[in-house]
Amino acid sequence: MANERAGRLYVVATPIGNLGDLSPRARAVLSECALVAAEDTRHTGVLLKHFGIATPQLSLHDHNELERTPDLVSRLRQGASIALVSDAGTPAISDPGFDLVRAAAAAGIEVVAIPGPCAAIAALSIGGLPTDRFCFEGFLPARRSARRKRLEAMLHEARTLVFYEAPHRVHETLEDCTKVFGETRGATVVREITKMHETVYRGSLGEHLARAASDPDFSRGEIVLLIAG
């Protein structure tokens, strides 16, 4: 049964490059909560300062989330509302937050979404590949053999595939994708969404691979890779 005195856990999406994308509701929640649980308090500190928000922060990242979760759930139970944020975009989507959300829900705490930016959804919405069904794969394994294996398991996937990738690994990942899915498979690379150098490259895996080798801008900044099913 829900504890009526308990606070709420707000899962708050933050901008992925343009501060104008912080919603008025996100701003209000960040101001009014007792605590902001942030992936990186210095990073979130810049955001809070920009909006004149003085709510105290506590760090919650991949390396301390399990350890910190019981204390946060106990504070929620005692009536404190907490805003969970990551460095950019929607918490718990290839970012910390899942363990806290699960534990809070299991403890009967109300978990409330304050939706907003998410790089995967933003890329899909402008990528020009089918969006009726898609498959979010997050980051591929960093090791080549594990990455190939993961890609091979998707060979017959009919839905649009969505990957996050680090700029220094884009070239290698495109090599592997081309090997597994073939040069002619349709793909879109979306980089620096909402930032000054936002660019959408549409074409085939073979074309993107050639561009990755010849155009240094292609592998700069943050990237979402979409592959046709």
Binding site for ligand SAM (CB under 6 A): 16-17, 86, 88-90, 93-95, 118-120, 164-166, 190-195, 222-224
Strand partners, 111: 9
Nearby residues of 67 by Cβ (< 8 Å), 6 or more positions away: none
Taking a C-beta distance cutoff of 8 angstroms, is the pair 229, 158 a contact?
yes
**What's the min distance (Å) between Cβ of 190 and ligand SAM?**
6
Closest CB 214 distance from ligand SAM, rounded Å? 21
Q: Of 11 and 104, which has the nearer Cβ to ligand SAM?
A: 11
Q: Which amino acid is at 90?
A: T
Nearer to ligand SAM, 118 or 180 (CB): 118
Nearer to ligand SAM, 175 or 192 (CB): 192
How many Å apart are CA 214 and CA 191, to the nearest integer?
17
Nearest approach, Cβ of 45 to ligand SAM (angstroms)? 18
DSSP E strands: which ranges in 100-175? 110-114, 134-139, 160-165
- Tell me the residue number closest to ligand SAM, measured at CB: 89
* Residue carrying structure tokens 């020009």: 128
The position carrying tokens 């760090």 is 59
* 138: helix, strand or coil: strand
> In whole angstroms, how close is the CB of 6 to ligand SAM at the nearest point?
26
Is 76 or 119 the residue whose CB approaches ligand SAM more closely?
A: 119
Q: Smaller CB distance to ligand SAM: residue 170 or 209?
A: 170
| Closest separation in Å from C-beta 108 to ligand SAM | 26
User: Strand pairing partners for 59?
Assistant: 38
